[in-house]
Structure 1
Amino acid sequence: MSDVLVTGGTGNLGRVVCDKLRESGHEVRVLSRRPQPGQSVRGDLRTGEGIPAAVEGIRTVFHLATAPRGDVEATSRLIAAIGPGDTHLVFTSVVGVDQIPLAYYTAKAECERLIETSGLPFTIQRATQFHSLLLRGFHLQRRIPVPMVFAPNCDFQPIDVHDVADRLVEHVDAGPRERVPDIGGPEVRSARSLAQSYLTVSGRHRRVVGVALPGRIYSAFHAGAHLTPDHAHAGLTFEDFLAERF
């Protein structure tokens, strides 16, 4: 009988978490809408189909599945399927979700509230943005027809997905601790300096241009609502991450 269920187990974070759980000796069941190689179970968080059977006999559920829309409904269905008992629900969230009025963030904040009031034993772990997210943002600009890379005039504290996965796996043995301290990357850096590092390591020759944007979302980022310098994790830096890819 599997002792851990992972939603979003085929995603960027989920794949690493599943590998680390197995390395730690846990039997892992991955929730998937379609049959997958290895140990998986069919279930659809969009409709609730198959979810009660997927959580049956499970000791810990890692809820890592995420989508631009539907996060709140999916979390609600998962909570209902787990039902009363001592199943430990571990949820990954993002630093600043309660302060930044970005739709994706406000949905994460609502998921946190659903879990906190569910009556289930739970752990909520917030993390800063992944290195891979910033890399994707810079890399997508390689096709723009001007020799520039645009970066917002604010700071970021990117973290490696493996460092977040290590912290999440610790929660299985630690047990439910509700909202735990945030985890952030090892450095708080300006987006412009991160963009320059990307250009240097990737061998591209472009000029970094800082951009100030209007609105409450940018203001919250500019104020550092997405940062957690007091909880910096001494893990992989952005340059280390880039060096592994170029």
Structure 2
Amino acid sequence: MTLTLVTGGTGHLGRDIVDRLVGDGHHVRLLARSPGARPDVEWAVGDLATGVGLSDALQDVDTVINAATYSPIARRGGVRPVDFFRSPSAVDVEGTERLLSLCQRQSIRHFLHVSIVGLDDATLPYARVKLAGERLVRASALSWSVVRAMPFYYLLDKMITSFAWLPLWPMPTTSFNPVDTSDVADHIVACAFDGIFGERTEIGGPQDISIAELGGQYRDARGLHRKILPVPMSEAKARGMGFVISRGARGRLTWADWLQHRYSVTHQAA
């Protein structure tokens, strides 16, 4: 049986990827800074940012799914002024370069890299870091694939929650199609084992929705009483912020359905 190494396997997307792999009968090894509790996978202790444990983690591996990333915005669930000036690159650039080099030495059959839709026009430092890492993959001599995905529902939920206490929510009217990690995981696992390499079809959610409408659905799902102020945004500014509409595969779960599942038990008026 072939062995698949997943980096970032303890994150939101990574957990869904691992669930799909295990459900499909794959032998899975997770790279993590400390071993977790789930018994249906192998745990390899290591760190992309430092390189510790990477060589051992790749022993006997056939396929690598690189879902690791470090986004301060995602970690804290909100944007701070510093995010417009810099973003750490130890995982997404140096870590990716280190992983690629080791994979080449160990003759990995397939290296699949998870990236983000719209990076070429995005201006935020995190996006530039992600693009730099993606370019390293594309320049590699390995048999590689790149799958770009739209922003995830759980992250948008965290970001709106961070300012949900405000009585007025200024929100752009520009549209995009965010997606759930479960749909992205299905697409990634399919791309990892279909024998096709290179740039793969990007994936977004099933619905084109304005940010203002997205905020309104969140507000209603939470039972909040807030006023939304629609704010026009130029196309260039929207693309710079990563608000685009993907043109590839479409997931199945809508934002409204995700919210219903997320808040059906915790729904409270405020």
Same-fold status (TM-score > 0.5): yes
TM-aligned CA deviation for residue 81 of structure 1:
1.4
Cα distance in 2 for residues equivalent to 1:35 and 1:232: 34
Tell whether the 8 Å contact from 2:179 to 2:251 is kept in structure 1 after alignment.
Answer: no
The 3 A distance-change label for structure 1 pair 232 and 193 is farther
**Residue 67 and residue 128 in structure 1: after superposition, are their counterparts in 2 closer, same or farther (change >3 A)?**
same
What's the TM-score, normalizing by structure 1? Answer: 0.91
2:239 maps to 1:220:
yes
Q: What is aligned with 1:55? A: 58
Relative to structure 1, the CA distance from residue 178 to residue 30 in structure 2 (aligned partners, 3 Å threshold; closer, same or farther) is same
Q: Is the 8 A contact 2:123 2:240 kept in 1?
A: no
The structural deviation recorded for 1:221 is 4.7
**What is residue 120 of structure 1 aligned with on the other side?**
142
Q: What is the rounded CA distance, in whole Å, between the counterparts of 1:27 and 1:211 in structure 2? A: 48
Corresponding residue to 2:257 among 240, 243, 246: 240
Contact 1:154–1:221 (8 Å) recurs in 2: no
Counterpart amino acid of residue 65 in structure 1: A
Structure 2 vs 1, CA of residues 54 and 176 (structure 1 numbering), >3 Å: closer, same or farther? farther
Amino acid at match of 1:48: G
Are 1:78 and 2:96 matched, yes or no? Answer: no
Deviation, structure 1 residue 208? 0.7
Unaligned runs of 5+ in 1: none
Shift of 1:77: 0.9
Structure 2 residue runs of 5 or longer lacking an equivalent are 72-87, 264-270
Q: Does the Cα contact within 8 Å between 1:99 and 1:225 map onto a contact in 2?
A: no
Within-5 A mapping of 1:1-246: 3-37=3-37, 38=39, 39-68=42-71, 69=88, 70=90, 71-84=92-105, 85-144=107-166, 147-211=167-231, 218-221=237-240, 226-228=244-246, 230-246=247-263
Any idea what the Cα deviations from partners look like across 1:187-222, whole Å, max 9, x if unmatched?
1111001111111111111001234579x6x34258
Question: Aligned partners of 1:152, 1:73: CA distance in 2, in Å?
Answer: 34
DSSP-derived class of the 1:143 partner: coil
Shift of 1:232: 5.0
| Structure 2 residue identity aligned to 1:135 | D
Q: CA 1:234–1:46 in structure 2 vs 1: closer, same or farther (change >3 Å)? A: closer
3-state secondary structure, aligned to 1:40: strand
Residues 100-141 of structure 1, C-alpha deviations (whole Å, 9 max, x = no match)? 111111111111111111100011000111111221121111
Q: Which piece of structure 1 moves more, 92-101 or 148-157?
A: 148-157
SS state at 1:142 partner: coil
Cα distance in 1 between the residues matched to 2:210 and 2:203:
18
Between the aligned partners of 2:184 and 2:194, the Cα distance in structure 1 is 16
Q: Is the 8 A contact 2:5 2:30 kept in 1?
A: yes
TM-score (norm 2): 0.83
Aligned residues: 241
Structure 1 stretches of 4+ moved >4 Å: none
Q: 1:80 Cα shift?
A: 1.3
The answer on whether the counterparts of 2:113 and 2:145 sit within 8 Å (CA) in structure 1 is yes
